[in-house]
Structure 1
Amino acid sequence: MTNNNGNRMNNSITSNPGAAGSAGGADTAAPPSASSEARDAKKGSLAAFKGLAPFLLPYRRQFAMAGVALVVAAGATLAIPAAFKQMIDLGFGTAAGVHSADNVNMVFLALFAVATVLALATAARFYTVSWLGERVTADIRGAVYRHVVTQSPEFFETTQTGEVLSRITTDTTLIQAVVGTSISMALRNVLLFIGGLVMLFVTSPKLTAIIIGLLVLTVLPIVMFGRRVRKLSRDSQDRIADASAMAGEILNAMPTVQAFTHEKIETSRFSASVENAFTTAMKRIRARAFLTMLAIVLVFGTIVFVLWLGAHAVLQGTMTGGDLGQFILYASIVAGAIGALSEVMGEAQRAAGATERLLELMSVKSEIQSAAHPLALPPRAANGASLALSDVTFSYPSRPDTAALSHLTLDIKPGETVAVVGPSGAGKTTLFQLFLRFYDPQQGVIKLDGVDIKQLDLHTLRGAIGIVPQDTVIFSADAMENIRYGRAGATDEEVIQAARLAAAHEFIERLPNGYQSFLGERGVRLSGGQRQRIAIARALLKNPPLLLLDEATSALDAESERLVQGALEAAMAGRTTVIIAHRLATVQRADRIIVMEDGQIVETGTHASLVALGGIYANLAALQFHNVHVTH
């Protein structure tokens, strides 16, 4: 069993809470990275971005402000060519008279005024859209994280940590670029394209008609090739996620890697994964480079041809020099807008893949949900909670034909200490998984204090249960905060008292900074026994009516075990306790011992009665206590 609390995902996800004790991973929920080419082909960028609407709508006011600044900036840009036309015709053309100097002065003053308006509007647009990009990205990251930490262990069995982290970081960064830059650039260039096109018609309808006809022919190959860029962008993100997942897994298992001298092997594996990501990225980059080249050559080739026609029109006297100058500038604006839109489209295609990946992650729904109208637990009894299993049958989703528990019925009275023993794979840890509702049984009912746990809010249920797992999770924080994880609102004095009960106070005091000592990532600065005592202190601080101990003293030396055993016995007073233990010395004084095999209860009794019975428990005891005589 592993602590499944998710407030610190970099630790709790890494520990793979669902995997401990389960016979296999779940296969009913496909990994979020799974996708199909058919779906990629059907979904366009706009379709993918619709899923971002809930994150964008709360900031309608800021989008409106950005829109106003955008329109003003685009209008100022479109006014510049008209000013140049006036400068050429009135200042230097045949229409210029004795007042040509005055005309030039007025035109340049107007140009400076337009430039000032353009600068102010551009600055306002940049600030607003950048704020929107940061704000929306922060909201998305928070929403994804909140969603992930509510998933059941089944999700974490089918999804790698690196995959989730890649989506929270890399994918949201791509979306940030779109919201904070690309959308603004796209709208700006759309306005410039439309406005420039209108002014081209005003300047020369004939030349404009020719340029539009040619541009239509150039856009078709650009759009068609853009679809390939989008698919390659999605593939590139998936390969990066694969490399991140592999790196996270190996770094979290570094002692094992080094103990088996697999450094070179793992380095080679990671290098191969990175090279795979690089190869895929280069395909995307080559495709985007070709798309950019294609767009520039086709668009500017069209514009150069039309301007050649305009130059001949000026020579023939059908256009003025100012008209041609204005047409050239507006054509440049239109061409620049098209080129910028092709760049933005490339970014949008890439971000569309990231958006789809995030939306896939957000669409994964945990099968373990709180009841729509949850019931309340009765007031806490002085001697703990009752726990009852009635005809419970459960199979892990990955092995639906193999029962981990089969028609199990068990009644645990308030204040009773029940030990569960048996060989590996008997279903002991599965019991704890079901008590905490990490999974739901396919058949049967589990009741806590007479209430079906499916009718309880998950926080209510898990708040009534304290657990000391076999594999302790220590967070990257100091000792005080690691113990306070059991009850967030506990005072320092309460934390220290819990540490005393768990025989942890003494070694914590010896740390360089006492309770403020940083324990290292995953508790690397502590011994196994010290980590276990931190976990016990955490459970004691929570003070639940039901206490689950999963090999709680397995990592302790003889002296520490004696100290912790005494602390646990004191902690068991006034609460119901269920103990999983392979070391039978820790369960001899239990009120009742349950022996499990193949998901069923095969023996029940006290230590003495089970030894006398001469069955499975007696055989287990004989292996551990050499002085036990077993009769058959």
Structure 2
Amino acid sequence: MANQTPAQEQAAPQDRPKSRRVGALSGLLPFIRPYRALMWGAIAALTLTAFVSLLLPIAVRRVVDTFNADDVTLLNQYFAAALGIVALLALGTGARYYMVTRLGERVVADIRRALFDRMIGMSPSFFERIMTGEILSRLTTDTTLVLSVIGSSVSIALRNLLLLAGGLVLMLLTSGKLTGLVLLLVPMVIVPIVVMGRRLRVLSRESQDLIAASSANAAEALMAAQTVQSFTHERVSRAAFSDVTERAFDAARRRIGTRAIMTVIVIFLVFNGIVGVLWIGANDVRSGAMTAGVLVQFVIYAVMVAGAVGALSEIWGELQRAAGATERLMELLAAADAVEDPATPVALPRPVRGEVRFQDVTFRYPARPGIAALNGVTLDISPGETVALVGPSGAGKTTIIQLLQRFYDPSGGSITIDGVDLRDMARSDFRAALSMVPQEPVIFAASARENIRFGRPEATDAEVDEAARAAAAHDFLSALPRGYDTELGERGVLLSGGQRQRVAIARAILRDAPILLLDEATSALDAESERAVQAAVERLAEGRTTLIVAHRLATVKKADRIIVFDHGRIVDSGTHDALVARNGLYARLARLQFTEGSAAA
């Protein structure tokens, strides 16, 4: 395990519960239930096709037994009836295919939507336990398996079950003696299906887990392709991906081998039995104990039954894989989140004044339970006040921003906006009153205009342009090939770091929320752009409650109050001049920064 990548460790199959039973497919019922009419229509169509298929051997028997008859009309009638049966079979099969496939596509689309809806609202602590690449694998690979089952395997399985049951009954009516001989073979066929099916179930789940690990590994490396190349890590990354992919292939190879052996055994036993029964039946025809037509009818039913058993053994393997996939999907849909909205949320009072209060807040990140990110923090921020949070890296500044957005809940104490505890409100309600500029801005693979409009989807083009001007982004956006309508590429690859930062600031300006959160918002800007954006931020902060997290102390000098953090505690507060005069941590940080700045100049 020491050589495993984080992606491999995350998805190691031995850490996961294995697929227990095909009954796990019952988790799909809530998604199928809304389309009961389509489901019953498909069942009716497959029942019709199975019934018609069972009539064909009787028609063949009549034709065979009338080969030597003097009345040609009767023979023609039997042939016409056979053609009618075939036409009915074709229509029923077409109707079954349409309804079953449509049902499968509809259900899988609903599952994908439900899964995305669930995942997009999960708190960051959830994504500390599972990689995004694995979720994407479940959204794609696992739902594709479910589609193959609903859209094909289940209907084929039901049809073959009907053919098996009906064929056995009609075989018994055709010849009890030959049917008894055939039934002696059933235990010999069932035993390998059950025994090897258990092994197949485990291998199917292992294979899917490793495919998810492979996807997670690839997503992680490709999303950081520039970093991989900068550190000439390609060989190691390729080796890691190759390793997990080979392990996935090995699991798939073992699954395929087990299924192939099971198929060989079942088909060998079934058709050996048919040959033996056919030999006995041929002797009965020679002795006059039965007609040739009866034997042909029995053989056709026997072949149908054998084919149904063979198909069911193959479909059983598909159902095993789909059961594992369904379990994985249901695990995500039922995943518990550390942060949930209350059953009866309290509404944030409107208009929002923007009073923020942290009362004796203690917090530890789930991934680092031994380290207190905040320890007994009490902080009162008045409506319209601009407060800067400063301190060394890891002091707890960004944690304040994350807790205020309720990405996590504090382990002790409370956080309120306008006197209402965040845990008593719906997250979408109070987050609508927040506007955020993160340290690492997220740019979507959309146009520049749509990226800015992300802050307020209903905004007009004129409002977007005004926000871009206020963020000093208008000039470079206008210079793009299609101006504001230029696609910025995945993660904004067409823009520099500073330009991405200004687009994010324009997004926050457009949102026009009463509480503004700036987490190193100007860290990626050059001096000229920083001055322009700083002026825009100052205008934006007027009349709003503003929290500024900054390492560059020059950006916080004009704050109404500066809060100094160290090791998760507030160690000082005041204006810039007052803090410098005290000669504490803030003064030391200021001296280091301004001295380095002078030396660099």
When normalised by structure 2's length, the TM-score is 0.96
Letter in 1 for 2:185: L
**Deviation digits for residues 82-106 of structure 1 (CA, Å, limit 9, x no counterpart):** 01111111223xxx2x21x222211
**Structure 1's 32 and 273: CA in aligned 2 closer, same or farther, altered over 3 A?**
closer
**Deviation digits for residues 299-338 of structure 1 (CA, Å, limit 9, x no counterpart):** 1112221121111111221111111010000001101111
**Deviation digits for residues 451-495 of structure 1 (CA, Å, limit 9, x no counterpart):** 111111100111111110000100000001000110111111111
The correspondence for 2:344, drawn from 368, 373, 380, is 373
Tell me if the contact between 2:192 and 2:262 (Cα under 8 Å) persists in the aligned partners: no
* Match in the other structure for 1:134: 105
**Deviation digits for residues 236-260 of structure 1 (CA, Å, limit 9, x no counterpart):** 1111111111111111111111111
Counterparts of 2:490 and 2:272 in 1: how far apart (Å)? 59
* Match in the other structure for 1:40: 18
* Match in the other structure for 1:4: none
Tell me the percent identity.
53
Counterparts of 1:275 and 1:33 in 2: how far apart (Å)? 14
The correspondence for 2:297, drawn from 312, 326, 331, is 326
Tell me if the contact between 1:380 and 1:545 (Cα under 8 Å) persists in the aligned partners: no
**Deviation digits for residues 336-386 of structure 1 (CA, Å, limit 9, x no counterpart):** 1111111111111111111111111111121211121111222225xx511
Task: Give the C-alpha shift of residue 497 in structure 1.
Answer: 1.0
Task: Give the C-alpha shift of residue 217 in structure 1.
Answer: 2.3
**Deviation digits for residues 493-532 of structure 1 (CA, Å, limit 9, x no counterpart):** 1111111111111111011101100001000110001000
* Match in the other structure for 2:154: 183
Tell me if the contact between 2:100 and 2:151 (Cα under 8 Å) persists in the aligned partners: yes
**Structure 1's 622 and 582: CA in aligned 2 closer, same or farther, altered over 3 A?**
same
Letter in 2 for 1:610: L
* Match in the other structure for 2:492: 523
- Asked whether 1:426 is paired with 2:403, we answer no
* Match in the other structure for 2:61: 85
Matches within 5 A, 1:53-452: 53-92=29-68, 96=69, 98-99=70-71, 101-380=72-351, 384-452=353-421
Counterparts of 2:381 and 2:326 in 1: how far apart (Å)? 49
Counterparts of 1:401 and 1:625 in 2: how far apart (Å)? 35
Counterparts of 1:408 and 1:561 in 2: how far apart (Å)? 31
Letter in 2 for 1:486: G
Counterparts of 1:464 and 1:396 in 2: how far apart (Å)? 25
Counterparts of 2:13 and 2:334 in 1: how far apart (Å)? 13
**Structure 1's 445 and 303: CA in aligned 2 closer, same or farther, altered over 3 A?**
same
Counterparts of 1:235 and 1:171 in 2: how far apart (Å)? 13
Give the secondary structure class of the aligned counterpart of 1:626.
Answer: helix
Q: CA RMSD in A?
A: 1.7
The correspondence for 1:497, drawn from 466, 480, 494, is 466
Tell me if the contact between 1:150 and 1:366 (Cα under 8 Å) persists in the aligned partners: no
Counterparts of 2:321 and 2:398 in 1: how far apart (Å)? 44
Counterparts of 2:182 and 2:350 in 1: how far apart (Å)? 80
Tell me if the contact between 1:414 and 1:576 (Cα under 8 Å) persists in the aligned partners: yes
Tell me if the contact between 1:243 and 1:270 (Cα under 8 Å) persists in the aligned partners: yes
Structure 2: stretches of 5+ with no match in the other structure: 1-5
Letter in 2 for 1:123: G
- Asked whether 1:469 is paired with 2:424, we answer no
Letter in 1 for 2:47: V
The correspondence for 1:621, drawn from 587, 590, 601, is 590
Give the secondary structure class of the aligned counterpart of 2:367.
Answer: coil
Tell me if the contact between 1:151 and 1:365 (Cα under 8 Å) persists in the aligned partners: no
Task: Give the C-alpha shift of residue 133 in structure 1.
Answer: 0.8
Give the secondary structure class of the aligned counterpart of 1:625.
Answer: helix
Letter in 2 for 1:228: R
Letter in 2 for 1:270: F
Tell me if the contact between 1:215 and 1:302 (Cα under 8 Å) persists in the aligned partners: no
Counterparts of 1:112 and 1:67 in 2: how far apart (Å)? 24
**Deviation digits for residues 153-205 of structure 1 (CA, Å, limit 9, x no counterpart):** 01111111110000000000000000000011001101111111111000001
* Match in the other structure for 2:3: none
- Asked whether 1:550 is paired with 2:519, we answer yes
**Structure 1's 503 and 36: CA in aligned 2 closer, same or farther, altered over 3 A?**
closer
Task: Give the C-alpha shift of residue 400 in structure 1.
Answer: 2.5
Tell me if the contact between 1:32 and 1:357 (Cα under 8 Å) persists in the aligned partners: no
- Asked whether 1:577 is paired with 2:553, we answer no
Count the aligned residue pairs.
591
Letter in 1 for 2:356: L
Counterparts of 2:199 and 2:569 in 1: how far apart (Å)? 56
